[in-house]
Structure formats: C-alpha cells, structure tokens
C-alpha cells in the first residue's frame, strides 16, 4: 500500500545528491595532511541525513486527509507564526 502511493525514483536521486554533498564537505574540511573521509562535519551531516530520511518516510507514510478537520486551526496558526516573523530579531 505504501509503495503504490510513493514515487521510488526520488530515493536514488536524493541519495546521489547526499553522497555528492558529503564528498564536497569532506574535501573542503579535511586537513591537507589527513586522508580521512570522516571529518567531524561529515559525521554530523550524515547524522542529520539519517534523521531527515526518518522524518521523510514518516511524513510520506502519513495520510494527509486526516488533517482536514484541523485545517482552519492550522491555517490560522500558520498565519500567526508568519506574522510573528516581523517581530523576531534578525
């Protein structure tokens, strides 16, 4: 059921973009004399990627039609949060 509603072509595309970005981060943050790929920034980025995949699949699996009764409240809350940006410090 889940895979019928989900476009599986997005997975390898996003994975390739993530791999390229890890290579770029590693090449720019690694010291000249070190040949290690796993710099602290690469490890941190990889943790955020893993968290992002979990959130992505959780939201993709969620049936958005269950939010219909909440839509007026969510709309007003979104507008208030958006208006609150005018009062937030830069």
pLDDT of residue 14 exceeding 70, the answer is: yes
C-beta atoms surrounding 26 within 10 Å = 16
Q: Report the mean per-residue pLDDT for the chain.
A: 89
pLDDT at 37: 85
- Token representation of residue 16: 């390739």
pLDDT at 6: 76
pLDDT at 62: 84
What mean pLDDT do residues 33-57 have?
A: 90
Which of residues 8 and 25 earns the better pLDDT score? Answer: 25
53-76: per-residue pLDDT in tens? Answer: 999 988 888 888 899 999 999 999
């Amino acid at each position: 059921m889940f895979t019928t509603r989900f476009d599986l072509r997005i997975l390898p595309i996003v994975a390739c973009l993530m791999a390229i970005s890890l290579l770029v981060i590693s090449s720019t943050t690694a010291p000249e004399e070190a040949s290690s790929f796993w710099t602290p920034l690469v490890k941190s980025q990889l943790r955020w990627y893993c968290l992002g995949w979990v959130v992505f699949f959780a939201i993709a699996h969620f049936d958005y039609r269950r939010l219909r009764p909440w839509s007026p409240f969510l709309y007003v809350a979104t507008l208030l949060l958006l208006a609150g940006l005018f009062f937030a410090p830069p």
